[in-house]
């Protein structure tokens, strides 16, 4: 039985990859591989490194095209909205009595093309309505019932392990 990554996690990790790339000296490819290696502990991630890299690159390109001076804030806000809500307004419940939203999916539901479209729509949304910006103190670790996912944002990247 296949263990595919949930769509919202793929979206958030792609944005996190782009955001951390902005403040590091690690290449986008290395950053994508780093997060794919972590996700591999929980999901099948065959083509995931290249998918994450392409999405993150597209996110950064879109932000550059609009001249976003607050690219990191927009990326963080996209991460937050995808992790904490199901449709930009309904709160996402990560843990229910018998399952978790973090559980692997039996069929592939994420697509790089759909993620790119969602991010473009989100850019328009967040620029037209400031309510969608994440509070500056918001972190992945503040998500309730996120178990291993809560630690992803602060995962230590050792550049020497990427060589």
Q: Mind listing the pLDDT tens digit for each residue in 10-23? A: 999 999 999 999 99
**Residue 59's closest CA among 135, 122, 8, 138?**
122
Of 7, 9, 18, the residue nearest 38 (C-alpha)? 9
DSSP one-letter code for 55: H
Q: What is the pLDDT of residue 46?
A: 73
CB proximity list for 29: less than 8 A, separation 6 or greater: 49, 53
pLDDT in tens, 42-59: 888 777 888 999 999 999
Confidence of residue 2 (pLDDT cuts 50, 70, 90): low
pTM given for the model = 0.91
Q: How far apart are CA 26 and CA 65, in angstroms?
A: 22
pLDDT digits (tens, 9 = 90+) for 75-119: 999 999 999 988 767 888 777 767 777 777 878 888 899 999 999
Per-residue model confidence (pLDDT) at position 88: 63
Distance of alpha carbon 85 from alpha carbon 158, whole angstroms: 31
């Amino acid at each position: 039985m296949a263990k595919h990554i949930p769509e919202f996690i793929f979206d958030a990790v792609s944005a996190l990859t782009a955001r951390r790339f902005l403040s590091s000296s690690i290449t986008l490819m290395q950053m994508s591989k780093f997060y794919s290696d972590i996700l591999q502990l929980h999901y099948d991630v065959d083509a995931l490194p290249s998918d994450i890299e392409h999405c993150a690159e597209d996110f950064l390109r879109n932000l550059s095209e609009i001249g976003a001076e607050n690219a990191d804030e927009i990326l963080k806000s996209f991460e937050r909205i995808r992790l904490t809500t199901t449709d930009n307004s309904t709160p996402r419940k990560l843990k229910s009595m018998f399952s978790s939203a973090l559980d692997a999916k039996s069929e592939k539901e994420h697509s790089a093309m759909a993620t790119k479209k969602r991010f473009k729509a989100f850019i328009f949304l967040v620029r037209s309505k400031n309510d969608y910006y994440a509070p500056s103190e918001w972190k992945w670790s503040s998500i309730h019932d996120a178990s291993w996912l809560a630690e992803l944002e602060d995962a230590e990247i050792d550049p020497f392990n990427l060589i």
